[in-house]
Amino acid sequence: MVYAKVENGQIVEVGQCPRNTELTSNFYLLDDTEKKLQNWFKIIEDIVSTNEWEFLGQSTYEFRDNEVYETKVINTISLDEYKTKVYSDVANNTKNYVMSITPDYKQLSALAGNYPIEECDKIKAFAKKHVDEVRALKILIFNASTYEEVRLLNKNVKFDYDTLEPMVETIPRGL
């Protein structure tokens, strides 16, 4: 719980309730009514939800009607920054997935032809399927014109190793 110390109608401190004050040991154990008598007010929090492209900035606090109210400030990253973040997340998640199925040594061995040709072709096809899908998704992400369009493109790219069929929807068609 967050509290505010109020003196002469002004908020002078915001933070955790102190364990002790100059007047009271174990102050934090008092109920909120008793804390108010010593000018410590439990903050009435501003509950907000944010989108992926928003982040909470510094809150502001106001003392009115014998209560302390919080107002959360929401900041927004630029659409271009959000596109870059989404693309980076998709590319990294896809890479991590592919590497969990076919690690570097397996991919390099396949490129060098150190496995039976069928296995080499399977590894190359699996990796290529993901690369192609991420490239197609990159174009859609960077051509999107709204935050919401970009959010809808933030998908996991995963294909089954044996069938190369999508494990989840990868690129929403028709955008």
Classify strands 40-44 and 67-71 as parallel, antiparallel or unpaired.
Answer: parallel
Given this model, what pLDDT does residue 169 score? 55
Give the pLDDT band of residue 168 (cuts 50, 70, 90). Answer: low
pLDDT above 70: residue 170: no
pLDDT at 8 over 70: yes
Is 128 or 23 the better-scoring residue by pLDDT?
128
98, 163, 131, 112 alpha-carbon torsion, rounded to 10°: 70
The proportion of the chain whose per-residue pLDDT surpasses 90, expressed as a percent, equals 67
pLDDT at 136 over 50: yes
User: Which residues, 6+ apart, have CB-to-CB distance to 39 below 8 Å?
Assistant: 5, 6, 7
- Between 82 and 111, residue with greater pLDDT: 82
Q: What is the pLDDT of residues 32-41, one digit of tens each?
A: 999 999 999 9
* Res 146 pLDDT > 50: yes
Give the pair of three-digit tokens for residue 139. Answer: 């174009």
Beta-strand relationship, 54-56 and 74-76: antiparallel
- Tell me what the pLDDT averaged over the chain comes to: 90
Which three-class secondary structure string do you get for 40-73? EEEEECCCCCCCCCEEECCCEEEEECCEEEEECC
Structural domain boundaries in the chain: 2-76, 79-152
Please give the pLDDT value at position 159: 92
Residue 174 pLDDT: 43
Per residue in 48-57, pLDDT (tens digit) is: 888 889 988 8
DSSP 29: G
